[in-house]
Amino acid sequence: MSECLLVGIDNSDCSRRAFNFACKRAKSAAARLVVVYVIEWSPYTFNTPEENEERHKRREEEITRANESVLDPVLKQLNDAGIDGSGIVRHGNVAEVLNGLAAESGADQIIVGRIGESGLKSLLFGSVATKLVQLSTVPVTVVP
């Protein structure tokens, strides 16, 4: 069975470096690469049924936009480089989703950037990379 790597991206410079690192690693190891974009989403809100319906609609639109603007170009880049890859967009807590998808996809390693799009928020609440290192069931590589 070949190696599987999972890389989390968020359009930050650091996540692009993590993606490039993951591509090189996947290419040299002939590994499969799963690219994941997580839209932070909290289920802990109290809404009316109408608000829930609107929220679901927004969620679906966000997934479509993320696939078109983030994952499709990345997957084309993988295909052009001859790397076996797939992409996933999910809503939720980033560290928890990445860890869950690593288990679900049989990933041997998770690769993330040290600082993501939400630089200020991570200074206040802790970074995804830090949470993932504490939570992960597989090795995590944090790219500066």
Q: What is the CATH number of the domain that holds 32?
A: 3.40.50.620
Other CB atoms closer than 10 Å to residue 19's CB: what's the count?
Answer: 22
Structurally, the chain folds into a number of domains equal to 1
Per-residue confidence band for 29, with pLDDT thresholds at 50, 70 and 90 = very high
Q: Phi and psi for 142 in degrees, rounded to 5?
A: -110, 120
Q: What is the pLDDT of residues 89-143, one digit of tens each?
A: 998 889 999 999 999 999 999 999 987 655 444 444 458 888 999 999 999 999 9
Residue 42 pLDDT grade (very low, low, confident, very high; cuts 50, 70, 90): low
- pLDDT, greater one: 64 or 47: 64
Its domain, for residue 71, covers 4-143
Alpha carbon 102 to its chain's center:
10
Give residue 57's pLDDT: 84
Mean pLDDT of 49-74: 86
Instruction: Write phi, then psi, for 88 (nearest 5 degrees).
Output: -140, 135
Q: Percent of the chain at pLDDT above 70?
A: 85
pTM (two decimals): 0.85
- How far apart are the C-alpha atoms of 59 and 43, rounded to whole Å? 12
Q: Which of 104, 3, 86, 2 is nearest to 37 (CA)?
A: 86
The Cβ of residue 142 has, within 10 Å, a number of other Cβ atoms equal to: 18
As a whole number, the mean pLDDT across the chain is: 87
Q: Which residue has the higher pLDDT, 26 or 52?
A: 26
